[in-house]
Structure 1
Amino acid sequence: MDSLGALNAFVQAAEARSFTGAGRHLGVSSSAIGKAVARLEERLGVRLFHRSTRSITLTPEGARFLERCRRIFSEMEAAEQEIAQTQGVPRGRLRISMPLAGMLMMPTVSAFMRAYPEVELDLDFTDRLVDIIDEGFDGVVRAGEVSDSRLMSRTLGVFRLKLVASPGYLAMRGTPQRPEALIDHACLQHRFATNGKLESWPLAAGVKEIDLPNTAVVNTIEPLIHMAEQGLGIACLPDFALRRQFRDGTLVAVLEPYVQHQGVFRMLWPSSRHLSPKLRVFVDFMAQNLFAD
C-alpha cells in the first residue's frame, strides 16, 4: 500500500506539474509529495522529474513510468467498477471539466448529487481547452463540434442565444425594431476568458455589421443576467440560463426575427476508457435533465 501511495503521489505530481498542486489534491503537504517521489526515485534508481524553483517536468524515464502507472490505476479502477456494478450502486470520484457557463447548470448537477450520493464529484470550471486524457479528466462538458478522434461524445442538448432586456429598460429606452437600432442602446457584452475577444451577437445573415456600444463587458455570464434584470441594457445570453427570468417576466427577448443561432452542449470522454457506472449515470442524467422543460 505504501508503494501505491508513492505511485499516486507521482501521478498526481506529474498531472499537476507541481508538488504543491499534487499535495493540495491529496490533502497533504508539498514536502510529503516531494519525499514520496524522492523515495520512489531512489528505489527505481532513476530521476523521474527535472526540478527547478518554479516547476517540475518529467524526464524521459518519468514519462514512460507515468504511462505504466496510469495503466495500473486504470486497472484498479476497472476492478472497483466491476465490484460496484455487482452491488448496483455507482460510486467513487468523478472528475469533470465544465465551461464557465456550467455554473448555470448547477441545479441539474445538484439534482444528480442528491440522486447519486455515492459519487464524489470533482468539478473544474474553465473555458480553457483541457486535454481530457493528459490531465486525467473522466469527462468534459463543452459547446461546439468535436474534432478529437480519441474522444467519444453524447449530445446533452441544444441551446440558442437570445437578445434580452428587462421590461423596465424597454419601457424607458424603447424596444428596438431593427438591429441598426442597437447603436442607440446600452449593450452588455460577453468577453471570452480564453482569448479576450468579444462574443459576436448572432444577427441574421444579410444584417449590416453593427459596431455595438460596449456599455459593460464581463467574462462570465451570471453578471450579464444580473445587469440585464436590473434594467441596465440589452444582453446576448443562452436561453437555457434564462428559464426563470422568462417565466417570471423579468427578462424578455427582443429582435427575435433577426437572431439566428443554435448551439450544442456535449459530454466528451476518452474512447480508450471503459465507460464506468459513475460516468454512465452522470452522462445519462445530464442528457435527460439539463434541457428538460
Structure 2
Amino acid sequence: MEREQDRTSRMEAFVRVVNAGSFSAAARAMNLTPSAVSKLVSRIESHFGVRLIDRSTRQFRLTPEGELYYERCQKIVAEIEEAERAVSEFTSQPRGRLSVNASMGIGIHRITPLIPEFQRRYPQIELDLSLSDHLVDLVEKQAEVAIRVGPLEDSTLVARKICDSRRVVVASPDYLARNGTPKHPEDLLAHNCLTYNMRATLNEWPFLIDGNMRKIVVGGPVRGDSGETLRHMALAGAGIARLGWFQVGPDVRAGRLVPLLEEYHAGELQGIYAVFFGMRHTSMRVKCFVNFLVEQMGREQPWLAAEYATSAAA
C-alpha cells in the first residue's frame, strides 16, 4: 500500500513540475523544498532507467519519454484530484442516506417527534429509521447509528451519551381496581407483572428497601419483546410494568397509568447513548444527527425525577 502511495506522490510531483515549468514553482505549490521535488522525479527516472526531463540552469524541456509519461500521468492525477474534490464537496455538507436503529420506546416517543425539525435543518439527509428493542449488529443491520439505553458492549464502537432515562413502575387504574395496589416491592410477587421475553435482567426490578438496594425478580402470565408492547398491555389493564418515563409520562399525566412504589425507587438513572463506528472517519451526516439528538434530547429531559415528582403528585 505504501508503494502505491509513493508512486502517486511521484506522479503528482512530475505533473506539477511540468505544469509549473520549474521545480521551485512546483515545490511551492506542494509545500515541499525544490530538492524534495527533484528527488521524487529522479526516482521515477531511476525506476524506468530513462531521463524524463532535460534540465539545466537555462532550459527545461521534456524528453520523448517524458512527454509520453506526462500525457498519461496528467490524466491519472486529474482523476485523483476530481475524486478528492467530489468527496470533499459531498462531505462538506451533510447529505445522503442515514440508517438509524433505535429501541421502540425511544424511537416512537423521542426521535420521531424530532424528525420534522431534523429535516428542516438537513434537507439533503435521507433518514432511514428502524425500531427494535433487541441488541443489533450495526454491520449486519447496515445501520450507521444505534440509539440505546446503555452502551452496546462492543469495543470497536463509540458510545456518546445523549441524556439520562428514569424508569417507573406503573399500572392502569382498571388493573389496580381489580387487583389492588401494591404497597411494598415484595407485593409485586402476587401481581401480574409484564415482563420481557428477551434479556432476563430487565425482569429484575431494583428497589431501595430499608436503605439497601434489592432486586425483585418479577413474573406473570404475559411477556413481550419491547417496552412499547408492555406499555400497551399496561394501558389495557393486563398488569404492572416498569418502563421509561419518556414512554409513560404522558400516560401518567393523563391518568391512564398510575405510578407505583415511588417511595422505594432506587434513584438510578440509565444513560441513553448513540452508538456508532469510530470518530476518525465518521460521516458528516452521522455527526449532525448525533449532535442534533444531544441538543434536542439533552436540553429537555421530561423523564427525570424533578418533573416526575411534580406530575405524580398532581
Aligned residue in 1 for 2:235: 229
Corresponding position: 1:122 with 2:128: yes
Q: CA deviation at 1:255?
A: 0.4
Distance (whole Å) between structure 2 residues aligned to residue 120 and residue 219 of structure 1? 28
* Equivalent of 1:251 in 240, 248, 257: 257
Using the size of structure 1 for normalisation, the TM-score is 0.61
Distance (whole Å) between structure 2 residues aligned to residue 210 and residue 199 of structure 1? 8
- Look up the equivalent residue of 1:107 and give its one-letter code: T
Check the 8 A contact 2:133/2:226 in 1, yes or no.
Answer: no
The answer for unaligned runs of 5 or more in structure 2 is: 1-81, 303-314
Alignment of 1:122-271 (within 5 A): 122-132=128-138, 136-145=142-151, 147-192=153-198, 199-204=203-208, 206=212, 210=216, 212-260=218-266, 261-271=268-278
Distance (whole Å) between structure 1 residues aligned to residue 263 and residue 187 of structure 2? 14
* Equivalent of 1:98 in 102, 117, 120: 102
Distance (whole Å) between structure 1 residues aligned to residue 95 and residue 112 of structure 2? 21
Distance (whole Å) between structure 2 residues aligned to residue 142 and residue 208 of structure 1? 25
Distance (whole Å) between structure 2 residues aligned to residue 223 and residue 131 of structure 1? 22
Check the 8 A contact 2:194/2:230 in 1, yes or no.
Answer: yes
The answer for unaligned runs of 5 or more in structure 1 is: 1-74
Higher radius of gyration, 1 or 2: 2
Distance (whole Å) between structure 1 residues aligned to residue 219 and residue 135 of structure 2? 29
Cα deviation code 1:233-283 (max 9, x no counterpart): 211111111121122121121001223232111112222543333222211
- Look up the equivalent residue of 1:262 and give its one-letter code: L
Relative to structure 1, the CA distance from residue 79 to residue 251 in structure 2 (aligned partners, 3 Å threshold; closer, same or farther) is farther
Check the 8 A contact 1:161/1:202 in 2, yes or no.
Answer: no
Cα deviation code 1:5-26 (max 9, x no counterpart): xxxxxxxxxxxxxxxxxxxxxx
Check the 8 A contact 1:191/1:199 in 2, yes or no.
Answer: no
Taking every aligned residue pair, what percent have the same amino acid on both sides?
32
Relative to structure 1, the CA distance from residue 249 to residue 138 in structure 2 (aligned partners, 3 Å threshold; closer, same or farther) is same
- Look up the equivalent residue of 2:169 and give its one-letter code: L
Relative to structure 1, the CA distance from residue 222 to residue 208 in structure 2 (aligned partners, 3 Å threshold; closer, same or farther) is closer
SS at match of 2:256: coil
SS at match of 1:201: strand
Q: CA deviation at 1:143?
A: 2.2
Distance (whole Å) between structure 2 residues aligned to residue 134 and residue 262 of structure 1? 30
Cα deviation code 1:68-89 (max 9, x no counterpart): xxxxxxx97x865632465xx5
Distance (whole Å) between structure 2 residues aligned to residue 79 and residue 109 of structure 1? 33
Distance (whole Å) between structure 2 residues aligned to residue 176 and residue 196 of structure 1? 22
Q: Return 237-246 or 129-138, whichever deviates more.
A: 129-138
Relative to structure 1, the CA distance from residue 272 to residue 224 in structure 2 (aligned partners, 3 Å threshold; closer, same or farther) is closer
Using the size of structure 2 for normalisation, the TM-score is 0.58
SS at match of 1:183: helix
SS at match of 1:164: strand
- Look up the equivalent residue of 2:207 and give its one-letter code: L
Aligned residue in 2 for 1:110: 115
C-alpha RMSD of matched pairs (Å): 3.1
Relative to structure 1, the CA distance from residue 184 to residue 83 in structure 2 (aligned partners, 3 Å threshold; closer, same or farther) is same
* Equivalent of 1:286 in 272, 279, 293: 293
- Look up the equivalent residue of 2:271 and give its one-letter code: V
Alignment of 1:63-78 (within 5 A): none
Aligned residue in 2 for 1:274: 281
Cα deviation code 1:201-259 (max 9, x no counterpart): 22336476655341311111222111212222211111111121122121121001223
Check the 8 A contact 1:81/1:276 in 2, yes or no.
Answer: no
SS at match of 2:205: coil
Distance (whole Å) between structure 1 residues aligned to residue 86 and residue 129 of structure 2? 21
Relative to structure 1, the CA distance from residue 146 to residue 212 in structure 2 (aligned partners, 3 Å threshold; closer, same or farther) is closer
Check the 8 A contact 2:204/2:215 in 1, yes or no.
Answer: no
Q: CA deviation at 1:165?
A: 1.0
How many positions carry a matched residue from both structures? 214
Aligned residue in 2 for 1:60: none
